[in-house]
A and B are shown apart, each in its own frame.
Chain A
Amino acid sequence: MKQKLTKWRLFTVFGLMALVLSGCGEPFLSTLIPAGEAGQTAYDIMMLSTWIMVGVVIVVSILFAVAVIKFRRKKGDTTIPKQVEGSHVLEILWTTIPILLLIILAIPTVIATFDLADTKAMDKKNEDGTTDAMVVNVRASLYWWEFEYPNQKIITSQDLVVPTDQKVYFNVKASDVKHSFWIPAAGGKVDNNVENVNQMWLEFDNEKAAEADNLFYGKCAELCGPSHALMDFKVRALPQDEFDQWVTAMQAVDAEAAEETPTDPTAAAGQEVFNQKCLSCHAVTTADARPEAARTAPNLANFGDRELVAGILEHNEEELKNWIEDPEQYKPGNKMTGTYGELSDQELDQLAAYLMGLKVEQ
């Protein structure tokens, strides 16, 4: 028994140490460091429930420990303990106290449930169909994310850009199988269903965003196939003025701008290759007028500005070429593999130069 206890202690210490070392996780990813109102609401309920439950665990553990230690059978003890049938007082006590605790938890739960589902601002349409509320349409596909800004009339993918200090409303759907849209630091998730649009809102505090270098991680939370684990996206939360600059710059990448030949000859050759092999799926204008079903691959208009290649690889030409050469190796089961034939090394260099030059920010 002694030895058992030491072992126990050792592992508890080991576990706790690991926890302390890793703290509450990373500010760009952890639900324990909420970045805005929606995340804070969830966090508050999580903490309230945790403390109530820690209380319950402590009470049960003490009773349990006392019972187990105090009433051990002594060696050779053959006495028969008193056979107790039960106790009405105790039964009533341990029925009512939990009910009271649950009421304490249930009331803020119900209030928060309705708060977080309040997306009425999305329905207040102006005459031209736009809304005063900041709205983003999120569409998930195997294994990438499209972000459409209906008011600003721009489309981007993989990197969601949002203004800070205001509620951002989302229309969430999927185009093939079910996914789930989750930015842990900003708040709870909602599923991307295939048959309907779900709505939610999130908010990013300016200060909290700054602490996370204005960059949060987003994840797919619903099993969607082999590369489910790699279906990450990034969220850049920018102050309003920077966001507005970004929108203006994005809007400038219209069809005309996209057709301009890059000045760099390698990139210009890359554009040729791109137009032949890639353009039928990937758009390079932010105002992609094609219907949703035709937008079968991520929009690349601002590819050069992105954080990662394909959501997982470091953003440089080398990794980009690796990715284009064999996407299957990096994201098994993706829909890009085998759709554009073999590319020569030279073509890969040219493509990479072209894609990296697709920037709207300086």
Chain B
Amino acid sequence: MSTIAHTQKRGFAGTVWDYLTTVDHKKIAILYLLAGGFFFLVGGIEAMMIRIQLAVPNNDFVSAGLFNEIITMHGTTMIFLAAMPLLFAFMNAVMPLQIGARDVAFPFINALGFWLFFFGGLFLNLSWFLGGAPDAGWTSYASLSLASEGHGIDFYALGLQISGFGTLMGGINFLVTIINMRAPGMTYMRMPLFTWTTFVASALILFAFPPLTVGLFMLIFDRMFGSGFFDVAMGGNTIIWEHFFWIFGHPEVYILVLPAFGIFSEIFPTFARKRLFGYSSMVFATVLIGFLGFMVWAHHMFTTGLGPIANAIFAVATMAIAVPTGIKIFNWIMTIWGGSIQFTVPMLYAVAFIPSFVMGGVTGVMQAAAPADYQFHDTYFIVAHFHYVIVGGIVLGLLGGAHFYWPLMFGTMLSEKLGKITFVLFLVGFHLTFFIQHFLGLMGMPRRVWTFLPGQGLDAGNLISSIGAAFMAVGIIIMLVNVVITQKKNIQVGRDPWKDGRTLEWSIPSPAPFYNFKQLPLVRGLDPFWIEKMEGKTEMTPAEPIGDIHMPNNSFTPFVISLGLFIAAFGAMYQADEGKGWAIPVLIIGMIVTFGAMLYRSIKDDHGYHIHKEDLLDDAGKGGTH
């Protein structure tokens, strides 16, 4: 098989087939970006509906039941189907290049992870068309989720279970990749911060997702197969669900925010032309945050009635997280201190992130004080807090990362002008929407209310908040326009488009050739590409002679394995209904498809193929390190 053919032009159908079967981390990154971006828009539309409904008191834009479905799907979609996959997109696109690897450790599993996430997300969102979405909040507390009628919660439990498998696989894959596939000279303490945060976030996924999986299985069995884990009448206990959910749910926050921290830790040094201040303490802080993230879950349950001892312990533990987070903030400020700051769009997001995220961080410490949290809990203060963390931290990271890594992924540069318009609209809208919500909460507005009565002093604040949301929406629309225009023009910008790239991903052509590195680079320190550039070189020193490169073959099997679970989920869900005799066969057929595909994968030998040395030499114009 001629290898360089991979880069040849294809028809539309050929391209689709290529993406359905790809195991290349760079293409999987694009799949994650597309799917995550789509779900981000869906979640955004849901957010707009929430703000329209709450713009004025006693509004009837949506009904009470529908509103609960919208808030549930907004939260679930944004966390599981937008933020996580978008971060996975950047992890896939950037991390292997940053450590000088030709792919992730398990390319097949990487594809499987994506398709599981995609089919899980698809299943969850089909609930809108098949009798109603889940309506018990993204936390899906057990007494309410068991009482909820219809199949909404079943869609939630099964959909998240399937996509959760994908996430878990992705996490394990990244861990193995970072441990095993670093280029010569790339020691742990020379890894870029984004790789470090990917590493720690993946470790968190490894330990945090199993509790969710167990909890979801219990919920699935309670709702569909007659068990009673959470059914008090049968001797169950609903508080157990809260523990399971938050033992997962709190680390999940760090799974999301640490990679965003990583993106900012790349952007700051690049556009300040100055190495990251206190690299080793940044690494230390990242690991510490990840560790402490598992010690604090019960601060989501201060009002559950765990008693003063538990509440006091978890209050103090939660406060402790502020210390490593503070270290990071100060290190970032000191990174740009004395630097030469260029305000590109990514840098604007990074700069805006600091005060925005600090706002979310300090309200987090305020909530850690349990007696104060008895007032904050389940009010709009909490809504304001976690949106400051998630939007001010993660979404700004994603938007900044999208502009920063766009040339790496597509070889083109998003318009700086449109980018700046998006930035201003989004940032203004964000603060306008959420700052006032702190005060709404303090003035007595509970969260998750579908309407509010006039005469409680809440009218003005809600209206302002809704106006802000409109700004954010316009900002995102302009960003979409930006993407379309940029891709339409398709002006390729080549290698190191920001001119000040410091790490390995910028040392190869953008977008990277499918084999990434023609020769693995020799890493001589932190910011390896910067070191070479400072010595007047334009390329990395290779660590090996040009030789054959072993590549994996494309495979349609991950798609089929995931499709089987998708089919089986319908069977599992409907078998609990009266008069749906077809459901059990569907469940069995789905499982046969999945296990059959796994068996096929196990017994069929697939050794991949080699790119020959000669082809690589011919391909000189295409890049590589020479």
Contacts and interface: CB of A to CB of B under 8 A. Distances in A.
B369 A105 contact: yes
Interface stretch (A64-72, A158-166, A266-274): A64-72
Most-contacted residue by chain B among A22, A43, A113, A229 (CB, 10 A): A113
Contact of A98 (B274, B323, B373, B439): B323
A19 B369 contact: no
Given A81-B274, A116-B371, A223-B144, 16 more contacts: A24-B443, A25-B439, A45-B369, A56-B358, A60-B329, A71-B272, A79-B340, A102-B320, A106-B315, A106-B319, A177-B143, A182-B378, A189-B374, A227-B64, A228-B450, A229-B452
A349 interface: no
B486 interface: no
Contact of A15 (B238, B312, B377, B464): B464
Most-contacted residue by chain B among A26, A72, A177 (CB, 10 A): A177
B76 to A, nearest CB: 14
Nearest to A222: B378
A217 interface: yes
Contacts of B373: 188
B623 to A, nearest CB: 26
Contacts of B359: 57
B128 interface: no
Contacts of A257: none
A227 B453 CA distance: 13
B351 A68 contact: yes
Nearest to A27: B457
Majority secondary structure of chain B interface residues (helix, strand, loop or mixed)? helix
Which 3 pairs show the lowest CB-CB distances between chains A and B?
A188-B374, A25-B443, A229-B449
Interface in A131-180: 174, 176-178, 180
B397 to A, nearest CB: 17
A219 B446 contact: yes
A226 B428 contact: no
B68 A225 contact: yes
18 contacts: A42-B371, A42-B375, A45-B372, A60-B333, A64-B354, A64-B355, A86-B281, A94-B326, A94-B327, A109-B372, A184-B375, A193-B239, A222-B141, A223-B136, A223-B144, A226-B68, A229-B448, A333-B65
B137 interface: yes
Contacts of A45: 369, 371-372
A193 B280 CA distance: 46
A43 B372 CA distance: 7
B327 A86 contact: no
Contacts of A21: 460
Contact of B64 (A41, A50, A63, A226): A226
A226 B147 CA distance: 12
Nearest to B351: A68
A94 B143 CA distance: 44
A288 B304 CA distance: 29
Contacts of A8: 428
Contacts of A242: none
A294 interface: no
Interface string B337-373: 1111111000000010011001100110110111111
Interface in B446-502: 446-453, 456-457, 460-461, 464
Interface in A71-123: 71-73, 77, 79-87, 90-91, 94-95, 98-99, 102, 105-106, 109-110, 112-117
Interface residues of A, number: 102
B585 interface: no
A41 B428 CA distance: 35
A49 B376 CA distance: 13
B65 A178 contact: no
Nearest to A116: B371
A73 B338 contact: no
Interface in A227-252: 227-230, 232
Contact of B457 (A25, A60, A94, A176): A25
A312 interface: yes
Contacts of B439: 19, 22, 25
A102 B319 CA distance: 7
Interface residues of B, number: 98
B456 A26 contact: yes
A57 B358 contact: yes
Given A53-B363, A91-B327, A86 B64 contact: no
A83 B444 contact: no
Contact of B327 (A95, A110, A189): A95
A185 interface: yes
Contact of B341 (A39, A43, A73, A95): A73
A109 B338 contact: no
Given A57-B362, A105-B365, A223-B137, A112 B371 contact: yes
Given A18-B461, A91-B281, A187 B333 contact: no
A221 B336 contact: no
B362 A53 contact: yes
Contacts of A195: 232, 237-239
Contacts of A39: 375
A69 B159 CA distance: 48
Given A25-B443, A333-B64, A191 B338 contact: no
A32 interface: yes
Contact of A113 (B147, B330, B371): B371
B596 interface: no
A110 B368 CA distance: 11
Nearest to B320: A102
B294 interface: no
Contacts of B431: 11
B25 interface: no
B424 A225 contact: no
A86 B374 contact: no
Contacts of A191: 303-305
B196 interface: no
A50 B385 CA distance: 13
A113 B311 contact: yes
B275 A22 contact: no
B334 interface: yes
Contact of A102 (B322, B327, B336, B370): B322
A223 to B, nearest CB: 4
A29 B444 contact: yes
Contacts of A32: 442-443
A81 B238 contact: no
Nearest to B526: A85
A224 interface: yes
Contact of A90 (B330, B368, B376): B330
Contacts of B272: 71, 81
A71 to B, nearest CB: 5
A45 B376 CA distance: 12
B403 interface: no
B26 interface: no
A190 interface: yes
A87 to B, nearest CB: 7
Interface string B47-72: 00000000000000001110110000
